[in-house]
Structure 1
Amino acid sequence: MDINDVIRTGIIDGINAHEGTVRATFPDRDDDVSTDIALMCAEQNFPRVGDSALFLFLPNGTEQGFCLGRYYHDGNTPPIPDQEVYVKKFDEDLSVQYDYRNKELTIVNAKNVVIRGDLYVGGVITSGESS
């Protein structure tokens, strides 16, 4: 098996949230459609149908492999192009951002923030927009 069969890019065309798998179409292989492929599971973050993703297959064929996840490309660029800012984007309207330089955590466009448990504040609470 050649390296082009082991590491491949494809387009997500189906998701099985109960099993933690995806199906993919491979445009470079005449739109060949995969069987269910396991997602890497460091966190629950399913790709969306239509997303480009990177796949790793075992050398014995495309029946066993893993979806390593989405990657940045021309149509999907980093939301904040700054290596000192961590961004967890949940959808177009909601993200959590951490600025390592300023040690500042920001929740962007959350409709509600729900806290279950105790909340301890060691500083001033203000209302309104931050600067």
Structure 2
Amino acid sequence: MQRTRDIRFRLLNKTGGKSVLKLLSEIKERIKRLESYKPIRIGEVVAVCPEKSSVRVKFKEQDREVSYELPVLQKRVFKDKFYVMPEVGELVVCEFVNETDGFVLGSFYHAQNNPPENKKEKFVLTFQDGTKIEYDKDAHLLKVDIPDGEVHLSVQGGSGNVYINGNLIVSGQIYDLSKTKGSLDDFRNVYNSHTHPGDSGGTTGTPNQKAGV
């Protein structure tokens, strides 16, 4: 009887005071979780945390369980940085290092979400508002279409040339900021209205051929 009590006392000490049955129950539960653990899972994004570059994902095979915030892998994150986030409702592939901690590896096309192009020679980037950037390697052709919006290109502290083998079509003004400090429209107005002193006195008329008319 004393020996039985001693063995029970030693078991309680080794198990942190837990009964053997309770310990076995916990071990069984851990084994069950390990058996159901999947390092690679596919789920649907349900929340986006853009300031942390992380998302929360819902997994159907785990009774629609929702993950903690998972970091989204980016191409570069140190001195050079790359940033693009999945959207709510997007299917993503996740890899877990344990039961709760993991990363979002990326998204994929499927039957309900087809790719925007079917030629392997093309690089295509499309946006929800209809903007499209496309490069065709075979045709050596770059296209940028922005249906409604603005474009800002700023180059500070440098200089260079722009080469165009074709027409330049501009609906706004073109300004020379180096010397004349004016627009082409200003130059056109001055040219079209200018006169000269005449050979026989007086002044000449304005040019017969107007610029930009």
For 2:152, the equivalent position in structure 1 comes to 114
d(CA) in 2 for partners of 1:66, 1:38: 5
Within-5 A mapping of 1:47-58: 47-58=86-97
d(CA) in 2 for partners of 1:19, 1:34: 15
Partner of 1:91: helix, strand, or coil? coil
CA deviation after TM superposition for structure 1 residue 121, in Å: 2.5
For 1:85, the equivalent position in structure 2 comes to 122
CA deviation after TM superposition for structure 1 residue 105, in Å: 1.0
Runs of 4+ in 1 over 6 A off after TM superposition: none
Within-5 A mapping of 1:1-131: 5-42=38-75, 43-58=82-97, 60-61=98-99, 63-110=100-147, 111-117=149-155, 120-127=162-169
Higher relative helix content: 2
CA deviation after TM superposition for structure 1 residue 29, in Å: 1.3
Residues 45 and 3 of structure 1: CA distance in aligned 2, closer, same or farther (over 3 Å): farther
d(CA) in 2 for partners of 1:101, 1:10: 36
Higher relative strand content: 1
**Code of the aligned partner of 1:67:** V
CA deviation after TM superposition for structure 1 residue 41, in Å: 1.0
TM-score by length of structure 2 reads 0.54
Partner of 1:28: helix, strand, or coil? helix
Residues 48 and 64 of structure 1: CA distance in aligned 2, closer, same or farther (over 3 Å): same
Paired residues in the alignment total 126
**Code of the aligned partner of 2:111:** D
Aligned CA-pair RMSD: 2.2
| Deviation by residue 1:83-114 (Cα, 9 ceiling, x = unmatched) | 11111123251121111111111112343222
Identity, % of aligned pairs?
A: 24
**Code of the aligned partner of 1:49:** V
d(CA) in 1 for partners of 2:88, 2:120: 28
Structure number with larger C-alpha Rg: 2
Q: Which runs of 5+ in 1 are unaligned?
A: none
CA deviation after TM superposition for structure 1 residue 127, in Å: 3.6
d(CA) in 2 for partners of 1:71, 1:10: 11
